[in-house]
Amino acid sequence: MSRIVSSNIGYPRIGAQREWKKLLESFWAGKLPEEQFLSGLETLRLAHLKVQQEKGVGLIPVGDFSLYDHMLDTATMFGLVPKRFAYDGGPVPLATYYAMARGTQGAPACEMTKWFNTNYHYIVPELNGLTPALTVNKPLEAYREAKRKLGIDGKPVLIGPYTFLKLSKGYAPEQLDALIELFLPLYKQMLTELEQEGATWVQIDEPILVTSLSETDMERIADIYSQLHAAAPGLKLMLQTYFDSVEHYERTVALPVQGIGLDFVHGAERNIAALRTHRFPADKALGVGLIDGRNVWLADLEAKLQLLDEVSALVASGTLIVQPSCSLLHVPVTTRTEEQANAELLPFLAFADEKLDEVVLLSKVAAGERTDAVRSGLEASARLVRELNDSPFRNRVTVRTATRHIAGGPSARQSSYSVRHILQQNKFQLPLLPTTTIGSFPQTPEVRQARKRWRTGEWNEAQYRAFIQEQIQAWIKIQEELGLDVLVHGEFERTDMVEFFGEKLDGFLFTRNGWVQSYGSRCVKPPVIYGDVEFVQPMTVEETVYAQSLTSKPVKGMLTGPVTILNWSFVRDDISREQVSYQIALALRQEVEALESAGIGMIQIDEPALREGLPLKQQDWQHYLDWSVHAFRLTSAAVKDTTQIHTHMCYCEFHDIIDAIRALDADVISIETSRSHGELMQSFDEHTYDQGIGLGVYDIHSPRVPAVDEMVRTIERALSVLEPELFWINPDCGLKTRGVDETVASLRNMVAAAEQFRARCAKA
C-alpha cells in the first residue's frame, strides 16, 4: 500500500487583490520606502503560506515567492549582473535587481521571453563571461522564515542547474560543460546548508526535461544529480518536471534523487505509457501532477481518481505525492472574490485555492478516507462536470456546422504577395521605410477613470463614447504632428487585447478578479472560453471609422488574432484547442469583412502569442503550426488584394517558426525584437523573408527614451539582411503601459531615425 501525501509546487505571488502588484508599483514610484516595501511583501508571503497550511497541504513550497521573477532571483542569487549595471559584488541591491528587469536610462533591461509555452515572461540571465558566486542562499532564507514564523517545515524550491543554464544566454554551446562545473559547487553549497538546517524535501525544478533533449544532455544531467546527491545525501530531492511528459523517461527515473514529479495533465498520455512500459523505481516517491495548474476548470475527480488508481497499481509500495501539474502561478488566486461574476458558471471554476482543495481531497480519498465531507466533494464534482458538458452553450449546432464548413474551405488570398504589394503601394503611396505603431497608446489615469465611471454607471454610453472620441481625436493629431505615415486609433476603449474581444463574442466568461502575472507587475485577466464562440455584431468598426474620418492618412483596423485569443484565454477542455481556434477565426473573419466594408484598407490581426503555443517537443510542432496558420488565414483571406493585412508577434525565438511566419501570408508583419535583435538578425541571415516586415526599433517595456542614433543602428542592422522597400519602422509592441511624454519623445526620435535613413537612401 502506497503512502499518500499532498503537495503544492508553487503558489501565485500577486495576492487575491493584486496586493503584490500594488506594493511593487508604489515602491517604483517612490511612494513606499524600501523597509516598508519589504515588510509588506513579507506579510503577503506569509499569508500565502498560511492559506496552504490551513488547507492541510502536506508539502508546502517555500522560496517560490519572488520580488519580480524566479529566474531573475536565481541570477542575482549567483551575482550574475551584466556589467552595464555597475554591480561590484555581494548581495545584489534592490535597485540593481529592478534595473535588470526594467532598465534605466543608461542601461537597457535584460531580455524577457516566455517561460516555456506559458503566458508568463521571465528575465533571461546573461552570463557573458561572468563568474557566479553564491551571494545569498535564498531557499535557505525562505525555509527559515516559514519554520520560524509559521511552524511550517517547508519544501524549498529552486530552479535546477540544467534548466537555468539552458534558458540563459551569453555563452557558446561548447562552453556549457565548463559552466556546469562553475555552478555545481554553488548548488552543492545551497543543498548542504539546507540539509544542515534540517530541511526534509527540496524541490528542484527541471522543466527542461520535457523538451527534446539529446543523449549528451541526459549524460550531463546524470552527472549533475550524482554530484548533488553526494553533496547532501540526507536531503530528499524532488526532481520536478511539468508542462509535458519527460523526454527520456528511463534515464530520468534512474537519476539519484528521492522523488520525481511528472505532469499527468499536459503530459498524461506519454507519461502513463512510459509508466506502464517501464514502471517506476521502488526507492523513489512519485509526484503525480493530477490537477491542472494551467486552467481554471473544476476537475473531474472521478476521472482523476481512476488515473491515480492506475498509477498506484504501476508503482511499488512507497510514496505517492498528489499535486498540481505545475506551479499555480499560472492561475488566479481564488474564486472567493468572484461572488458577482456569472453565477451560472462560477461553480464550474477552480482557481489556485480551489485546486489545492482538490489536491487535498484526492489525497484523502486515495489514503482511504471516506468521511461525509469527502463523499460530498466527490458527488458535487461528478454532478457539476456532467452539467457543464451537457450545457446548451457548449453544444451550439449552428456554430459547430459553420466552423466545420469554414475549416474545410480555402484559406488563401486571391493573389500572391508580389501582386498585392504593387496594388497596395499604388493605393497608399507610402514613403520608403513607412513609420507606424503597433496599435495602443497610453492608458492614462484619465482613460482608466473614464472606463470605471462608465462600468459603474456614473457615465452613460453617450458620455463614454464622447470621451473615447476625444482621445482618438487628440492622438490622431499627435500622430500627424509627429509625422507617422500609418496611424492607429489608440485602443482607448480597450482594457486588454483579448478581454476586449471576448466581451463582445458569445462563449466567453469574464471574472472580476481572475488576475494572473504576465511579467513583473503586469497582470492580466484572461477570458474564460466556456462555450462555443459566436460573432454577435461589429466590435471595432465605430472607433476605427471615426479615426479614419479625422485624417487623410491610412488608419489601421486593430484586431487580436484567433490563436492569440486562444493562447491568452483559459480554454474549455472538452474539445480540442484546434476546434476552438477555428470557432474564433470564423467570428473574427466576420469582423474583418465588416471593417473592409466600412472602408478600412489596412487591418492588423495581431498574433503575439502564436510562438508561445508551440509544443515543447519538436515532434509535435508541425501539427500545431499547421492549424495555427490555417486559423489565421481563415480570418484574413477573404479580403480584397488592395486591403493590406498586418500582423504583430511578441518575444520569441522566431527562427523556430520562420516558415510558419511566411505561411501566414500577411502583407506586413511586425516583430517584437528590441531586447534580442541580434538573434533575430541571424535568423534573417539564414532565411530569406520577402514580404513586408517591421522589426521593433525600441523597447516599450522600459521607461527609457531611446536616442535617435540608437534606433539608427538598429535599422542599419536590419537593412543589412532585409530589403528597404519592404521594411517598416515601428516600436516593438503597443504603448498602452507607457507615459504620454516618453511615448511622444520616443516616437519623435523614431520618425527622425526613419527620416535620416530615407535621406541616406536618396543620396545612394
Which one is catalytic: 70, 421, 489, 701? 701
Place of cell 533575430: 680
Say what the pLDDT of residue 340 is.
Answer: 63
707 is written with which cell numbers?
Answer: 536616442
pLDDT of residue 659: 86
pLDDT of residue 676: 52
Rounded CA gap, 211 and 203, in Å?
19
Residues of the chain with pLDDT under 50: 1
- Rounded distance, CA 754 to CA 485, Å? 11
Is 220 one of the annotated binding-site residues? Answer: no
**421 labelled catalytic:** no
Instruction: Write down the pLDDT at residue 675.
Output: 52
Please list, in sequence order, all residues whose beta carbon lies within 8 angstroms of the beta carbon of residue 247, skipping any fewer than 6 positions away: 209, 210, 211, 212, 213, 617
- CA-CA distances (angstroms) from residue 118 to 39, 124, 170, 564? 30, 15, 23, 12
297 is in an annotated binding site: no
Structural contact between residues 122 and 135, judged by C-beta atoms closer than 8 angstroms: no
Condensed to tens digits (0 to 9), the pLDDT of residues 47-76 reads 999 999 999 999 999 999 999 999 999 999
Q: Where are the alpha helices (DSSP H) in 79-205?
A: 94-102, 138-150, 161-166, 176-197
Tens digit of each residue's pLDDT (9 = 90 or more) over 403-459: 888 777 778 899 999 999 999 999 999 999 999 999 999 999 999 999 999 989 999
Q: Exposed (0-12), middle (13-18) or buried (19+): which is 254, by Cβ within 10 Å?
A: middle
Do 3-390 and 404-409+421-763 show the same overall fold? Answer: yes
Contact, 323 vs 291, CB < 8 A?
yes
What predicted TM-score, i.e. pTM, was given to this entire model?
A: 0.88
| Residue 605 labelled as part of a binding site | no
Where does 3-390 sit in CATH, by number?
3.20.20.210
Domain boundaries, the chain: 3-390, 404-409+421-763
206 labeled part of a ligand binding site: no
Q: Looking at residue 682, what is its pLDDT?
A: 63
Is 617 annotated as contributing to ligand binding? Answer: no
Identify the pLDDT of residue 407: 76
Half-sphere exposure (Cβ direction) of 108: Cα atoms closer than 13 Å: 14
Which candidate, 295, 229, 289, 292, places its Cα nearest to that of 256? 229
Cell numbers 474545410 correspond to 408
Q: Which position has the grid cell 488576475?
A: 515
SS3 call for 81:
coil
650 marked among binding-site residues: yes
Query: What is residue 406's predicted lDDT score, i.e. its pLDDT?
Result: 79
The answer to whether 664 touches 639, Cβ cutoff 8 Å, is: no
166 marked as binding residue: no
509 within 8 A of 332, measured Cβ to Cβ: no
Name which CATH class applies to 404-409+421-763.
alpha beta
